[in-house]
Amino acid sequence: EAQVTQNPRYLITVTGKKLTVTCSQNMNHEYMSWYRQDPGLGLRQIYYSMNVEVTDKGDVPEGYKVSRKEKRNFPLILESPSPNQTSLYFCASSLSGHNEQFFGPGTRLTVL
C-alpha cells in the first residue's frame, strides 16, 4: 500500500531532551515536507526537500533540523525541544511540484 508513515504517533517529552520523529514514504517520491498544525494558526511548513541532500527552510524552521540522506526518509529532529513546540506534526511527500501531496497520519508531540 502506498503510504507515508510517521513514528512515533504520540510523544510526551521534557524540555531539552533531544528527539527525532521519523518519516518514510514508499512511493519513490522526490519531494518531502514537514508541517506543524496549531489551533488558530493552521498548518505551517517547517522544512521541505526536493531531493536527496537538498533541503530548504519553510515558514517556521527555528528549533528544528532535518536531513535527507535517502529518498524515502525525511526525519525531523528537535535538538532541544521547548514547550512552544508542542503541536501536531505532519510529514508529506509528492512525486514532484506538479503533483498532489500525500500526508502521513500525524505525530502529536507534547513538550513539558
Q: Is residue 48 a contact point for another protein (CB under 8 A)?
A: yes
Of the residues 7, 22, 44, 67, which one makes contact with another protein according to CB under 8 A: 44
**Closer of 14 and 95 to another protein (Cβ):** 95
Neighbours of 81 (CB within 10 A): 22
Neighbours of 95 (CB within 10 A): 14
Residues lying near another protein in the complex (CB under 8 A) are found at: 4, 31, 33, 35, 40-45, 48, 50, 56, 58-59, 90, 92, 94, 97-106
